[in-house]
Structure 1
Amino acid sequence: MSTDTAIRDSIEEAAGVVGSLWPVHSFVTANPLSGFEDRPFEEAVADAAELLGGRGYPSAETFRAALERGQISRDRLDAELDEAGYDAAPEVLLDQLADAADPAEGDADDATEHADRVLSKWLSAFLDEGSAHWSMPNREAGFYAAFREVAAHDDEIPDAGVAADLPEEPTDAVATALEPYPEGEWEAIFEEELAALPGWTWFVNRRVEDGGEWQSAHPISLAGYLAARLAVLDALDADLSPDDDPGEPDSADEIAAAFLRAWEATYREDLVDAVAAESESLAEGEEDSGRPDAQLVFCIDTRSEVIRRHVEETGDYETHGYAGFFGVPMEYEGYDAEVSVEACPPIVEPQHRVAEAPADEDAHASHDRWTGLREAATEVVETLEANAATAYGFVESAGSGYGVALAARTLVPERVRGLVGAATGPIPDVHEFCEPDLDHEHADEGLPAGLTTEERVEYAAAAFELMGWEQFGRLVVFTGHASETANNPYESSLDCGACAGNPGGPNARVLAAICSDPEVKAALRERGFDVPEDTVFLAAEHNTTTDEVELYDGDVPASHADDVEQLRADLASARERAAAERAESLGADGDAVSETERRAGDWAETRPELGLAGNAGFVVGPRELTSDLDLDGRAFLHSYDHATDPDGDALAAILTGPMVVTQWINAQYYFSTVDNAVYGSGSKVTHNPVGNLGVYQGNGGDLMTGLPLQSLTTAADEPYHQPLRLSTVVHAPVKRVEGVLAEHEQLQVLLDNDWLALTVVDPTRDHRAFHYEQDLSWTPAVAEAELEPETQRAAAVADD
């Protein structure tokens, strides 16, 4: 094997532990330890701690607070500690845990810090996505070539070693730097160097995998990055020998793992018991309430759980849960957008390109006229932001008027938001004069435009099959969601996770347009979906900051005008109740609607909303299982009826798609909470946006990889998110679930390695609950009252 091949193979192996980081303007939640998911959770967090330095479990203080609040069952905790071999009192063990967490003093590696500083500087310059006014030279040749050109002019890079005369090929530079080290150490060296700046490394990894216009125009590779890094370290005469200390088993981690399992089991047991009780009630044959006035399909997002409860309380409405991209894997180009976006989860490849097309020329012209003025004003502001001298001159010449405007935005942001809304009133919203263009057009290169009739039918049928629909109301509303916030680099982290950090309204509009197609309606009827002639499909968007739901009802016929007006009034009532609940969780006083609007428009507000903080459960089943439950905005809810899915195809789509995405979301919230310095992004107060890519803490260094503290804590900096791994509850025959798992190895890997938990409430077996163990085996869920010092494990559930 050639040296070049050996180097590339070692880099590929080392990259197995590299995570993914998307640009902050299109934030995608992901497990920061995704590269470790092939090993058990406890082993993975220990390995990651060695490599990245991050803590893998909640702190003793966090466990203590949960225990005192009753969030951890004492009986469950005693059982877990006993099974782990610890018989001391929980409080004593927590003291030991706290003592073990005291950081050890270590000597900083000057060479590594120096290399980090140099590489961060050039990575930020090379990877910039349009915010820099001066570009790094020779970017089109690729990162290594561009670095090779500037290295000789960088005073921070000594003129020594391989850096003194960088080879043309990156692997040659790597080979030269690795000459003192045996080939058996190369992979370990690469792992440690890739882990030195995980934010930048993860971003590079994602950009390479995604491709796209920035990667095409300015290519970069992990090999090119490592070549530059090793050259700098070689010039600094750094020792690259990998740390070969295997480490001793950590009793603190064993104790923490037992506390975590008990906490998770306490939450899971309450959720499973509630679902099982509702399952039994459903089987008792309650009378059908008849055709609902309207059915609203929301994203499975935990924030939808809150608004759905309150919508159902206001009238004869059904709500359903479905992944927020509404099952259409597309690249979407908005009318005002400069670039298209992939409006689907990262685990799904876009199959279509859909663009907005103007349908109302008068509104179109009015929109363009007003937005032209607004864009001119925006360009002035961007110029001021980029040039301090110009900014000071502008403020001085603008005088008191500008000062008043600044004061107003700071002191009365809700008034400014209202005035801005009134001022932009003449500007028609895009959805008022544009429609998604679904006309199919084959493309020789890239994605085909639009969708064929057959494709439209498949997406519509798949949606109703997955949700188990058997009847349709007069109104069916597909409701996407988006957040509203000001001056927030992490804005997209509050948008739809199923839409890759983009608003879900466009996806809702596309599915509504598909289902409104007469040919699609006819085909649905042929496939067993009895769509009445008077059913009207429309779209909406839920503002998760203010809980306002905006109906896109421009094409609704006059026959349904009264239905829409009643729905609009009821949505306003639901908003008031949901906003009150949300404001309380934020510790806010006063009128809830006003408070949420203030947070949406306040440019100094670091906590416009709490996003998906608190997420812990995922329920897959009919809405009736949870409609009478207050799940406190902590559960993802996906509609599913096992009776309409005898082959398990719909269930397989849910478990391999939405469940995997929710596990990513859950893992990012978990790790951002347990160690925000390593896996999160610290406080927004000290964020410094860089390159339209992400944020620094301070004025340089590594890209932050996770969520800010303000997304995890309340206004008083009290912990809000409870760091628990995801507990999934599926309402279906256990054999059907087992069949799906048997056909999808990646699901078994996640479950067998304890990255999430799965419990099945089986309506065909007296509504009993069965908990997944390992290797496709199940045990009956154990109630707390049945716990003994040594829990008796039941036999695997393999019979019918």
Structure 2
Amino acid sequence: MSTESAIRDSIDDAATTVGALWPIHSFVTANPLAGFEDRPFGEAVERAATLLGGRGYPSAKTFATALERGQIDRDILERELADADYEDDPERLLDRLAESADAENGDAEAATDQVDRVLTKWLSAFLDEGSAHWAMPNREAGFYTAFRGIAEHDSEIPDEGVVADLPEAPLEAIERVLTSYPEAQWVSILEEQLAALPGWTGLIKQRAEDEGVWQSTYPISLEGYLAARLALLDAVDATIEPSTDAVDANSADDLAQAFLRAWEATYREDLVGTVAAHSQSLDGSEASGRPDAQLVFCIDTRSEIIRRHIEETGDYETHGYAGFFGIPMRYQGYGTDVSVDACPPIVDPQYHITDFPTDDDTQARHDRWSGIRDAAEEVIEILEANAATAYGYVETAGSGYGLSLAARTLVPGRVHDLFDAASEQVPDDHEFCEPLVHHQHTYSGDLPVGLTYEEKVEYAATAFELLGFEEFSRLVVFTGHASETTNNPFDSSLDCGACAGNPGGPSARVLANICNDEAVRVELSDRGFDIPEDTVFVAAQHNTTTDEVDLFADDVPESHADDLDQLRTDLTAAREHATAERAESMGADGSVGVAETERRAADWAETRPEWGLAGNAGFVIGPRELTSGCDLDGRAFLHSYDWSTDPDGDALEAILTGPMVVTQWINTQYYFSTVDNAVYGSGSKVTQNPVGNVGVYQGNGGALMTGLPLQSLMTADDEPHHQPLRLSTVVHAPVERVTAILADHEELIQILDNDWLSLTVVDPTQDHRAFLYEESLEWTPVSERTDPRPAMMNGPAVADD
């Protein structure tokens, strides 16, 4: 093997330990330790601690508070401690855990600090995605070439070593540095250098793999980054000798694992007990008749709250489905210059869907009013980017601008009302546009524009199979979701994760359009889905910040006007109850829930507009009847599934290989961002600085932060709201069917065997008994107790220091 090939292979091997990081404008939640999922969880967090310096378990203080609040069952804890050979009482053990907490890392070497400082300066300039007003020279040639061109002009870069005469090819630069070390050490050296700035490495990795417009215009690679880094390290004479790969077993970690398992088992037993008890009640139950409407929401944990309250307002049936509604598309909205992926990152887009105008008058009104709005936003952008202009503008505008600032700060609720009134003047895209769904026999880039007739039928049928639909009401509403916040760099983290951090409304519109197609419905009838003539499919979007559900019902026939009016009335009532619950969870007065959530949406100083998916801990795959009437406290993902309508297991296989994997990513990001926010999160929003429209710094520069901010997880700096638990998945299906599916997917066996999540099956064919997955496709019957506890304990845990 040539030296170049050996270096490339070493880079590929080393890169697996750093997870991809998406730009903050399209924030995608992902396991920050994804590169270690081939190892057992305990071993993975130990190795990550060595490379990244992050803690892998909640602190003793967190466990103590959870134990005090009843979130950890003492009987379960005693069992877990005994199994791990701990005999002292829990309080004494927690004292020991606190005493043996990891020592703080020492200060980094000044030479390495200098290298990091230089690299982050030029990486932020090169990777900028449209926010910088002065571009880095020669970006089109790629990062390494551009860096090579500016190196001699940067006074912070010593004119020494390899960097004094950088070769044209990055691999040659890497080779010059690595040849002083045995080839057996290359992977370890490169691994540690990639882990030195994991946020920047993760962003480079994602951008290179995505090959989107920014990468095609301004290319960067891990090879180019490593060449620059190693050359700089050589210039400052910093050692790159790899640390030992051996990881010493940490007894404190063993003890923390026992407490964590007990905490997770407490939650899991409650959830499984609820599902098993309701599973028994399904035997012999008769259909209750055609519901007034069926609403399909994203499986997102925030949907659990609004679904529960909608069901309480009338005869409504709700379902859960991944929020891209099964359509792997790249979407371009009306009047936008770029398209966005609207599907999970584990799925490649297959179609390009764009909005096209269908109403000239409404389009003209939209263009006129949106032009005024865009001009105002441009003024704000200029003010933010140019201090001299800002001072001149404020002086000219005088008291009017001051009043505007004061209103935004002091009465954001009123500002929300004003913006609502103004936005009514600007028609929404769905009022004059339709998604171009039908196949156009043209391409946008490498993707076909629209879907063929056969493809539309297949996606509609797949949706109904996954949902277990056997009956259709007069209104079937596909409800995507999006958030509403002001001055929030992390706004996309609150949008739909299944749509790659974008709003889910467009995906809902596409599926509704497909299902309203008469030709599609005829074919669906031949496949066993008899859709009544009076069934109309409607798209909608759930605002997760304010719990308003906006129905995109402009084309619904007059025959369904009364149905729509009643649904809107009931959605308003459900919103009032849901926002009251949501406001209380944020420490506000629930009696003014709607006003409080609207205030948070409009307040540009609000660091916590909503909780997002904080609290997520469970994933239930089964009929809604298994959890209907239960307050799951917005902590469970809910995916509809009926095993009896899925004889071949194809629908369940799609759920386990898709949504379950994505929810595990979400869960682990929330977990690690909570247990060590400084390493795996992004710290307080108060001290963050956005950089290049791709991420945030803490302070003035340095490492690109990789995870969620404190305010997405904590009620206060020392009191988390999110309980850091690994995901507990519960499937309602024959255990043999689940086993067969797992056997065909080694990647699922891997994350289960390595304890990245748990899986329990409630088997309706075996007297509704529950079976917990252990290892190597083996199951253990769960205790015969099926009665859930009176209430699932929630409430904040306590902060990890």
TM-score w.r.t. length of structure 2 = 0.97
Distance (Å, rounded) in 1 between the aligned partners of 2:335 and 2:613: 28
CA RMSD for the aligned pairs? Answer: 1.2
Deviates more, 1:261-270 or 1:240-249: 240-249
Asked whether 1:762 is paired with 2:763, we answer: yes
Residue correspondences, number: 785
1:427 is displaced (CA, Å) by 1.3
Distance (Å, rounded) in 1 between the aligned partners of 2:424 and 2:631: 37
Distance (Å, rounded) in 1 between the aligned partners of 2:786 and 2:214: 58
Aligned position for 1:222:
222
Aligned position for 1:483:
483
C-alpha spacing 1:407/1:734, structure 2 compared with 1 (3 Å) = same
C-alpha spacing 1:245/1:647, structure 2 compared with 1 (3 Å) = closer
Distance (Å, rounded) in 2 between the aligned partners of 1:54 and 1:758: 27
Aligned position for 1:595:
596
Aligned position for 1:335:
334
Distance (Å, rounded) in 1 between the aligned partners of 2:472 and 2:579: 29
| 2:629 partner letter | D
After TM superposition, the structure 1 = structure 2 runs for residues 205-354 of structure 1, keeping only pairs within 5 Å, are 205-244=205-244, 246-283=246-283, 285-354=284-353
Asked whether 1:659 is paired with 2:660, we answer: yes
Aligned position for 2:406:
407
| 2:274 partner letter | A
Aligned position for 1:391:
390
Deviates more, 1:272-281 or 1:331-340: 331-340
Distance (Å, rounded) in 1 between the aligned partners of 2:495 and 2:423: 23
Distance (Å, rounded) in 2 between the aligned partners of 1:424 and 1:761: 48
Aligned position for 1:356:
355
1:18 is displaced (CA, Å) by 1.5
| Cα deviations by residue, 1:486-539 (Å, 9 ceiling, x for unpaired) | 000000000001000000000000000000000011111111011000000000
C-alpha spacing 1:506/1:557, structure 2 compared with 1 (3 Å) = same
Distance (Å, rounded) in 1 between the aligned partners of 2:368 and 2:718: 45
Aligned position for 1:798:
none
Distance (Å, rounded) in 2 between the aligned partners of 1:190 and 1:783: 51
Native 8 Å contact 1:311 1:571 kept in 2: yes
Native 8 Å contact 2:274 2:786 kept in 1: no
Distance (Å, rounded) in 2 between the aligned partners of 1:349 and 1:436: 20
Distance (Å, rounded) in 1 between the aligned partners of 2:330 and 2:474: 30
Aligned position for 1:797:
none
Secondary structure of the corresponding residue to residue 714 of structure 1: strand
Secondary structure of the corresponding residue to residue 28 of structure 1: coil
Aligned position for 2:731:
730
Native 8 Å contact 1:297 1:321 kept in 2: yes
| 1:360 partner letter | D
| Cα deviations by residue, 1:550-576 (Å, 9 ceiling, x for unpaired) | 111101101000000000000000000
Aligned position for 1:791:
none
Secondary structure of the corresponding residue to residue 533 of structure 1: coil
Aligned position for 2:797:
none
| Cα deviations by residue, 1:14-46 (Å, 9 ceiling, x for unpaired) | 111110100100010000000000110000000
Deviates more, 1:370-379 or 1:342-351: 370-379
1:423 is displaced (CA, Å) by 2.2
Distance (Å, rounded) in 1 between the aligned partners of 2:103 and 2:304: 40
Secondary structure of the corresponding residue to residue 714 of structure 2: coil
C-alpha spacing 1:8/1:105, structure 2 compared with 1 (3 Å) = closer
| Cα deviations by residue, 1:165-224 (Å, 9 ceiling, x for unpaired) | 001111111111123211111110000000000000000000011111111111111011
Distance (Å, rounded) in 1 between the aligned partners of 2:153 and 2:525: 70
Asked whether 1:434 is paired with 2:433, we answer: yes
Aligned position for 1:705:
706
| Cα deviations by residue, 1:618-652 (Å, 9 ceiling, x for unpaired) | 00000100102111100000000000001000000
| 2:642 partner letter | D
| 2:349 partner letter | P
Aligned position for 2:557:
557
C-alpha spacing 1:105/1:49, structure 2 compared with 1 (3 Å) = closer
| 1:713 partner letter | M
| 2:379 partner letter | V
Distance (Å, rounded) in 2 between the aligned partners of 1:653 and 1:535: 27
Distance (Å, rounded) in 2 between the aligned partners of 1:437 and 1:393: 46
1:715 is displaced (CA, Å) by 5.6
| 2:401 partner letter | Y
Aligned position for 1:76:
76
Distance (Å, rounded) in 2 between the aligned partners of 1:511 and 1:359: 18
Distance (Å, rounded) in 2 between the aligned partners of 1:76 and 1:381: 56
| Cα deviations by residue, 1:568-625 (Å, 9 ceiling, x for unpaired) | 0000000000001111111102511100000010000000000000000000000100
After TM superposition, the structure 1 = structure 2 runs for residues 53-68 of structure 1, keeping only pairs within 5 Å, are 53-68=53-68
Distance (Å, rounded) in 2 between the aligned partners of 1:424 and 1:558: 26
Distance (Å, rounded) in 2 between the aligned partners of 1:136 and 1:473: 57
| Cα deviations by residue, 1:677-707 (Å, 9 ceiling, x for unpaired) | 0000000111101101011111111111000
Native 8 Å contact 1:586 1:715 kept in 2: no
Secondary structure of the corresponding residue to residue 234 of structure 1: helix
1:244 is displaced (CA, Å) by 1.4
C-alpha spacing 1:784/1:190, structure 2 compared with 1 (3 Å) = farther
1:103 is displaced (CA, Å) by 2.5
Asked whether 1:683 is paired with 2:660, we answer: no
Native 8 Å contact 1:311 1:317 kept in 2: yes
After TM superposition, the structure 1 = structure 2 runs for residues 515-534 of structure 1, keeping only pairs within 5 Å, are 515-534=515-534
Aligned position for 1:499:
499
What percentage of residue pairs aligned between the two structures are identical? 72
Native 8 Å contact 2:46 2:247 kept in 1: no
Aligned position for 1:790:
none
Native 8 Å contact 1:607 1:715 kept in 2: no
Distance (Å, rounded) in 2 between the aligned partners of 1:9 and 1:286: 59
Aligned position for 1:541:
541
C-alpha spacing 1:593/1:785, structure 2 compared with 1 (3 Å) = closer
Secondary structure of the corresponding residue to residue 448 of structure 2: coil
Deviates more, 1:447-456 or 1:774-783: 774-783
After TM superposition, the structure 1 = structure 2 runs for residues 7-18 of structure 1, keeping only pairs within 5 Å, are 7-18=7-18
After TM superposition, the structure 1 = structure 2 runs for residues 719-798 of structure 1, keeping only pairs within 5 Å, are 719-782=720-783
Distance (Å, rounded) in 1 between the aligned partners of 2:162 and 2:18: 26
1:249 is displaced (CA, Å) by 1.0
Native 8 Å contact 1:269 1:783 kept in 2: no
| 1:255 partner letter | L
Gaps of 5+ in 2: 788-801
Native 8 Å contact 1:17 1:191 kept in 2: yes
Aligned position for 2:90:
90
Aligned position for 2:623:
622
Native 8 Å contact 1:76 1:784 kept in 2: no
1:712 is displaced (CA, Å) by 0.4
Distance (Å, rounded) in 2 between the aligned partners of 1:65 and 1:657: 35
1:104 is displaced (CA, Å) by 3.9
Asked whether 1:606 is paired with 2:617, we answer: no
Distance (Å, rounded) in 1 between the aligned partners of 2:184 and 2:689: 40
Distance (Å, rounded) in 1 between the aligned partners of 2:535 and 2:179: 72
| Cα deviations by residue, 1:102-158 (Å, 9 ceiling, x for unpaired) | 534624211111111110001001111111111111111111000000011111111
Distance (Å, rounded) in 2 between the aligned partners of 1:267 and 1:656: 24
1:286 is displaced (CA, Å) by 2.8
| 2:479 partner letter | T
Native 8 Å contact 2:769 2:784 kept in 1: no
1:365 is displaced (CA, Å) by 0.3
Secondary structure of the corresponding residue to residue 17 of structure 1: coil
| 1:214 partner letter | W
1:97 is displaced (CA, Å) by 1.1
Native 8 Å contact 2:762 2:768 kept in 1: yes
Secondary structure of the corresponding residue to residue 538 of structure 2: strand
Distance (Å, rounded) in 2 between the aligned partners of 1:705 and 1:61: 25
Distance (Å, rounded) in 1 between the aligned partners of 2:536 and 2:780: 46
Asked whether 1:170 is paired with 2:175, we answer: no
Aligned position for 1:457:
457
Native 8 Å contact 2:276 2:786 kept in 1: no
